[in-house]
C-alpha cells in the first residue's frame, strides 16, 4: 500500500460505494457510461472527502501530542464540520476560525449547526484576515497550556492529500473486483488536496485514467497550488514519479459569478441527479462539478464508449443552509 508508512487513524466508513448512474446517462441523452464514487458516505457527521484527509492529519496530531485540532474556513465549511467531528471522536478539543465576515445573527443551520452540536469552539474573523486570526488564536491556546495542531484550510497539505492516494488504491481494488476500468475521473477542485492526491495515486498505480478537476471558482493560482502539492505529496510518500503539464487538467468553474453563488445551473444539476439517481449533492462543491460534467457530456467531449467516474466529495449538510436560494 502506498500510504502504509504513514500514521493513520480510523475515522471513515470505507470503502465508500461505487455505483453506476444509468438513469442520469439516459437523461443526458448521449455520452459515456457514468459511475459515481460516494465519498458523501464516509460517515463522519454526514461524511465528505475531508474525512479521508483527517485520518492522516489527526494521526500526525496525536503523534505530536496535540490535545486540540484547529482549522479555518467559511461559515458553512465542510472541512471544519468534519474536523470538529474527528476531534469529538478522538477526544480532542476543536477550535474553528470562521469567516469571512462577522458572526451571523441567524442561520445557525447546515454545517454551522453541526459545528455547535459537535462542541467546537467557534471564533469569528469579522473583517480581519483569516490567517492572522488563526495565528493569534493558536498563540492564545498555546499560552493557556494547550497543544494545538493547526490544519490548513481544506487539509490541503501532503499528509492530507495522502488520503486521496489511499482512495485511489481503494478505487483500484473495487474496479479490479468488477473486472472494469475507467477512462476519466471528474470531481470538484477547490483547495488542491483532493486533486493532488488523486493525481499521485493514479500515476503511482499506473491507472490509464485522466484526472479532470472542475474548479469551484475562478482558477487563479489553483493550478500552481495543485502542481506544488502534487510534488510535495510525492516526496512525502517517498515515491519516484514525474508529472507533465498535460497531467494537470483543470476546467474553469462553469457559468458562475463567484464562489458559493448559486445559479440556475446548480439548481438544475442538483434536481437532475436527485430525480434520476436519488443522490443528493451540495450547490457549492459537488453540485458545481456536476454542472461541468453535464456540460462536457452535452458538448460531446466524452465519447459513448468511455467510462467516466464522477467523485462525490460530500457537502450535503450545506444544502440545508441554502434552502431559500435553492428553491428560488
Instruction: Give the CATH architecture of domain 18-48+156-326.
Output: 3-Layer(aba) Sandwich (3.40)
pLDDT, position 101: 56
The residue whose grid cell reads 474527528 is: 86
Give, as one character, the DSSP assignment of residue 155: G
- Determine if the peptide bond prior to 283 is cis (ω within 30°): no
Q: Do 18-48+156-326 and 50-155 fold alike per CATH?
A: yes
> Which tens digits make up the pLDDT trace of 37-66?
999 999 999 999 999 999 999 999 999 999
State yes or no: pLDDT of 121 exceeds 80: yes
pLDDT, position 186: 98
Q: Which of 10, 77, 244, 304 is catalytic?
A: 77
State yes or no: pLDDT of 89 exceeds 80: yes
pLDDT, position 23: 97
Which has the minimum average pLDDT: 20-24, 115-119, 153-157?
A: 153-157
Q: Exposed (0-12), middle (13-18) or buried (19+): which is 130, by Cβ within 10 Å?
A: middle
Q: What angle do CA 121, 126, 132 make, to 5 degrees?
A: 80
pLDDT, position 107: 66
User: Active site includes 77?
Assistant: yes
As a whole number of angstroms, the distance between CA 263 and CA 249 comes to 24
Q: In what order do the strands lie in the sheet with 210-215?
A: 18-20, 33-38, 307-312, 184-189, 210-215, 249-251
C-alpha cell at 150: 493547526
Domains of the chain: which residue ranges? 18-48+156-326, 50-155
Give, as one character, the DSSP assignment of residue 243: -
* Of 121, 77, 140, the residue nearest 282 (C-alpha): 77
pLDDT, position 105: 67
CATH class of the structural domain 50-155: alpha beta
C-alpha cell at 130: 483569516
Q: In what order do the strands lie in the sheet with 68-73?
A: 121-124, 93-98, 68-73, 148-150
Instruction: Provide the b/e sequence for 148-183 (b: ≥16 CB within 10 Å).
Output: bbbbbbbbbbbbbbbbbbbbbbbbbeebeeeeeebb
pLDDT, position 237: 97
Amino acid at each position: 500500500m502506498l500510504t502504509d508508512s504513514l500514521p493513520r487513524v480510523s475515522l471513515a466508513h470505507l470503502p465508500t460505494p461505487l455505483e453506476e448512474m444509468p438513469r442520469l446517462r439516459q437523461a443526458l441523452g448521449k455520452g459515456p457510461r457514468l459511475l459515481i464514487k460516494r465519498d458523501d458516505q464516509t460517515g463522519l457527521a454526514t461524511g465528505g472527502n475531508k474525512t479521508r484527509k483527517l485520518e492522516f492529519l489527526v494521526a500526525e496530531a496525536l503523534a505530536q501530542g496535540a490535545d486540540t485540532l484547529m482549522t479555518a474556513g467559511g461559515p458553512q465549511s465542510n472541512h471544519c464540520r468534519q474536523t470538529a467531528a474527528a476531534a469529538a471522536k478522538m477526544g480532542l478539543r476543536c477550535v474553528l476560525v470562521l469567516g469571512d465576515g462577522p458572526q451571523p445573527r441567524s442561520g445557525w443551520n447546515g454545517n454551522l449547526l453541526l459545528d455547535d452540536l459537535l462542541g467546537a469552539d467557534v471564533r469569528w474573523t469579522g473583517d480581519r484576515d483569516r490567517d492572522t486570526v488563526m495565528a493569534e488564536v493558536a498563540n492564545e491556546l498555546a499560552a493557556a497550556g494547550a497543544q494545538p495542531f493547526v490544519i490548513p484550510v481544506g487539509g490541503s497539505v501532503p499528509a492530507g492529500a495522502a488520503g486521496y492516494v489511499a482512495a485511489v488504491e481503494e478505487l483500484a481494488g473495487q474496479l479490479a473486483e468488477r473486472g472494469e476500468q475507467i477512462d476519466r475521473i471528474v470531481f470538484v477542485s477547490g483547495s488542491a488536496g483532493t486533486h493532488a492526491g488523486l493525481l499521485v495515486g493514479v500515476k503511482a498505480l499506473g491507472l490509464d485514467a485522466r484526472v479532470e478537476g472542475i474548479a469551484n471558482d475562478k482558477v487563479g493560482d489553483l493550478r500552481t497550488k495543485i502542481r506544488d502539492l502534487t510534488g510535495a505529496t510525492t516526496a512525502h510518500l517517498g515515491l519516484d514519479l514525474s508529472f507533465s503539464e498535460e497531467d494537470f487538467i483543470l476546467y474553469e468553474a462553469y457559468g458562475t459569478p463567484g464562489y458559493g453563488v448559486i445559479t440556475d445551473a446548480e439548481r438544475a444539476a442538483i434536481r437532475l441527479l436527485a430525480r434520476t439517481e436519488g443522490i443528493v449533492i451540495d450547490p457549492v462543491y459537488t453540485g458545481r462539478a456536476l454542472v461541468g460534467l453535464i456540460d462536457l457530456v452535452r458538448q460531446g467531449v466524452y465519447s459513448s464508449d468511455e467510462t467516466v467516474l464522477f467523485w462525490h466529495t460530500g457537502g450535503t449538510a450545506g444544502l440545508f443552509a441554502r434552502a431559500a436560494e435553492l428553491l428560488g
